[in-house]
Amino acid sequence: MDENNALIPLSEAVEVIKTAIMQGQYEALKDVNRVQLAVYFAIGKYLSNNTRRLPYGAGALKIISEQLHKEMPGLRGFSETSLKKMRLFFEHWKMLDAKSCVATHDSQKTKSNNMIDIYHSITIPDIVGFPIEDFFKVPFTHHVEIYRKVEDFQARYYYIRRTAEEHLSVESLETLIKQQAYENRATIPNNFSATIPNSSMARKAVMMFKDSYALQFINTEEIGERDKQDIDERVVEQQIVQNIKKFIMTFGNDFSFVGNQYHLEVYGVEFFPDLLFFNRELNALVVVELKLGDFKTAYLSQLSTYLRILDDHVKKKHENPSLGIVLCKSANRDFVEYVIQDYKKPMGVATYQTAEDMPDYLRKALPNVEDLKKLIIDEN
């Protein structure tokens, strides 16, 4: 197709996109990222509907980009490559099309009377779990990375949430996708989404805890010659307290240790939760109840009682409701998820492994404490 002839029908496209850009620049003063995404989505739809068929032809985006830069000197972000990304952005998220994102205005005397309406370019989809607020918080460059490399929509939601919540760089997002973080995720069985009204806080809570912890600094074999029945939760608790820094580093970020066997009392009845922490990110108390054996439903009732008392008598006014974690040696994940939904306090169930739970070949490969001391002395 002759380039000069192509400029005649494409001149209208240039005017439409130019108007959208200027409208977006004005509106962006209110919410830069949200409006930018709406503009790119609307332009992407316009380009998808018009530049993938004749008479525009394959070189349409290049011509439009060149003409835009002639008419708007200093314009950035609207190269041929950028326009392609906008078109793909729309095509990968067609489900968000509000139907009215390209509106008709009779007052405009253009050949097709089509003007991009950025106010209605993206609608909130009627889809359970769609992270609409996080969607608008994610920069366009990150969106490009997500739609280019992630096909599954649930996986896209996952990376959108993590990007928004953790303020990920593009490089960090690339690494997560490359590591297949969505496929390999191991979220703790919990009822957070049902018991924490703030959806953003519920997601943070889910992401805060793992479903299993390797507590290699706990070794009940070193305690001495004693019956296994005598090695109860208190023994594990004491080793955690003695290695509290290691435990916190294993457990997660922003945890502060409040105490163990924390005294609670209500109506003359005393309770002593095993471990109590405060998490700055969640702005909430977190109680951890240790269990040596398999998960039992009674543990949730016990934990629910602790959380009720903590919220009524310990929690500060500015803090969020307390959370609870049952930490046991083993748990049937499906069963936990089934029974935990009946509880009204935010709780989760995680498992842990101690040093003696490691496979023999790994344990034999690791030097013992005396060998490590000898290595350090020899090195010095």
Average pLDDT value for residue range 325-341: 91
Confidence tier at 116 by pLDDT (50, 70, 90): low
CB 321 within 8 A of CB 313: no
Q: How far apart are CA 5 and CA 56, in angstroms?
A: 10
CB 161 within 8 A of CB 168: no
Question: In CATH, which of 3.30.70.100, 2.60.120.10, 3.40.1350.10, 3.40.50.970 is domain 208-363?
Answer: 3.40.1350.10
More confident residue, 18 or 43: 43
Alpha carbon separation from 273 to 257, 291, 300, 307 (Å, rounded) = 13, 12, 13, 10
Whether the per-residue pLDDT at 347 is higher than 50: the answer is yes
Q: What is the reported pLDDT for 309? A: 97
**H-type helices in 185-284, by residue range?**
192-195, 199-208, 233-242, 244-251
Average pLDDT value for residue range 214-240: 59
A 10 A CB-CB count for 118 gives 25
CB 279 within 8 A of CB 254: yes
Q: What is the reported pLDDT for 70? A: 85
**Coil, strand or helix: which one is 352?**
strand
CB 233 within 8 A of CB 372: no
**Coil, strand or helix: which one is 213?**
strand
Residue 164 CA, chain-centre distance (Å), reads: 7
Whether the per-residue pLDDT at 315 is higher than 50: the answer is yes
Whether the per-residue pLDDT at 4 is higher than 50: the answer is no
What integer best gives the mean pLDDT of the chain? 78
**Longest Cα separation, the chain:** 92
Confidence tier at 228 by pLDDT (50, 70, 90): very low
Average pLDDT value for residue range 2-22: 61
Highest mean pLDDT among 46-60, 149-163, 200-214, 346-360: 149-163
Q: What is the reported pLDDT for 33? A: 83
pLDDT in tens, 254-266: 889 999 899 999 9
Whether the per-residue pLDDT at 31 is higher than 70: the answer is no
Q: Is the peptide bond before 73 cis (omega within 30 degrees of 0)?
A: no
Angle CA 200–202–205, to nearest 5: 115
Q: What is the reported pLDDT for 345? A: 96
pLDDT in tens, 234-259: 677 777 877 777 777 777 778 899 99
Query: Which tokens sit at 279?
Result: 């998490």
What is the domain partition of the chain in residue ranges? 1-123, 127-185, 208-363
Whether the per-residue pLDDT at 367 is higher than 80: the answer is no
**Coil, strand or helix: which one is 28?**
coil
Q: What is the reported pLDDT for 71? A: 83
pLDDT in tens, 50-101: 887 655 566 788 888 888 888 888 778 788 899 999 999 999 998 888 654 3
